């Protein structure tokens, strides 16, 4: 349990193997005075394609093999990942933001602290990437999305079962 019902609900969409570390992350942020909300966990591939359409033209989507109706060229590009190319699609990523007086603090001096606490709980932070995605945290278990896609297909799209490391 965390301070926040929305967060608790979204943690339940994550892979069972990362739920407790996601909860620890939010609770440790709270102990440092930051009320962080996980506003998204699992995201279906189709929803990923809708986000991919942000900032892209119909032509670009057509070339990428994605439904052209998702094109929203007049807003900024938000992601490089198409459906199946995001850890969200495999329940292994979440997006979060600090909440203060009911406002989401997107431009936040605390981002580095939030990123550090995420890393302490074993998450890779999108704020450390070249194409920065500060709200984003993921646990990859050493697999890329192509490998995860193959595993998901083999495993009937249930939560991925990772092979035991030898």
Which CB sits closer to Zn ion, 137 or 160?
A: 137
| CA gyration radius, the chain | 16
Instruction: Please state, in angstroms and rounded to a whole number, the distance separating the CA atoms of residues 40 and 82.
Output: 17
CA 72/CA 77 separation, integer angstroms: 9
Q: How many residues lie near Zn ion (CB under 5 A)? A: 2
From the CB of residue 162, how many other CB atoms can be counted at a distance below 10 Å? 13
For Zn ion, the closer of residues 58 and 116 by Cβ is 116
Using an 8 Å Cβ cutoff, are 81 and 142 in contact?
Answer: no
Shortest distance in whole angstroms from residue 119 CB to Zn ion: 16
- Contact map string, positions 127 to 166, toward Zn ion, x by CB under 5 A: ---------x------------------------------
Tell me which residue of 20, 4, 9 sits closest to 98, measured CA to CA: 4
Residue 57 vs 116, nearer CB to Zn ion? 116
If one asks whether residue 85 binds Zn ion (CB under 5 A), the answer comes out as no
**Residue 68: beta bridge partners?**
none
CA distance 50 to 165: 35
CB of 40 to Zn ion, least distance (A): 7
> 50 or 58, CB closer to Zn ion?
50
Nearer to Zn ion (CB atom), residue 15 or residue 136: 136
Site string for Zn ion, 89-108 (x = CB under 5 A): ------x-------------
What SS3 state is found at 150? helix
Which positions touch Zn ion (CB under 5 A)? 95, 136
């Amino acid at each position: 349990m965390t301070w926040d019902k929305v967060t608790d609900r979204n943690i339940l969409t994550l892979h069972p193997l990362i739920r407790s570390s996601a909860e620890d992350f939010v609770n440790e942020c709270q102990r440092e005075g930051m009320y962080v909300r996980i506003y998204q966990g699992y995201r279906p591939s189709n929803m990923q394609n809708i986000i991919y359409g942000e900032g892209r033209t119909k032509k670009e989507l057509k070339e990428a093999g994605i439904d052209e109706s998702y094109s929203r060229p007049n807003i900024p590009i938000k992601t490089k990942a198409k459906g199946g190319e995001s850890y969200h699609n495999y329940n292994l990523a979440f997006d979060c933001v600090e909440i203060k007086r009911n406002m989401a603090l997107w431009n936040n001096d605390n981002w580095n602290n939030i990123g550090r606490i995420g890393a302490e709980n074993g998450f890779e932070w999108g704020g450390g990437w070249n194409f920065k995605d500060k709200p984003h945290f993921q646990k990859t278990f050493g697999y890329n999305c192509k490998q995860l896609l193959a595993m998901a297909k083999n495993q009937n799209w249930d939560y991925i079962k990772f092979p035991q490391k030898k």
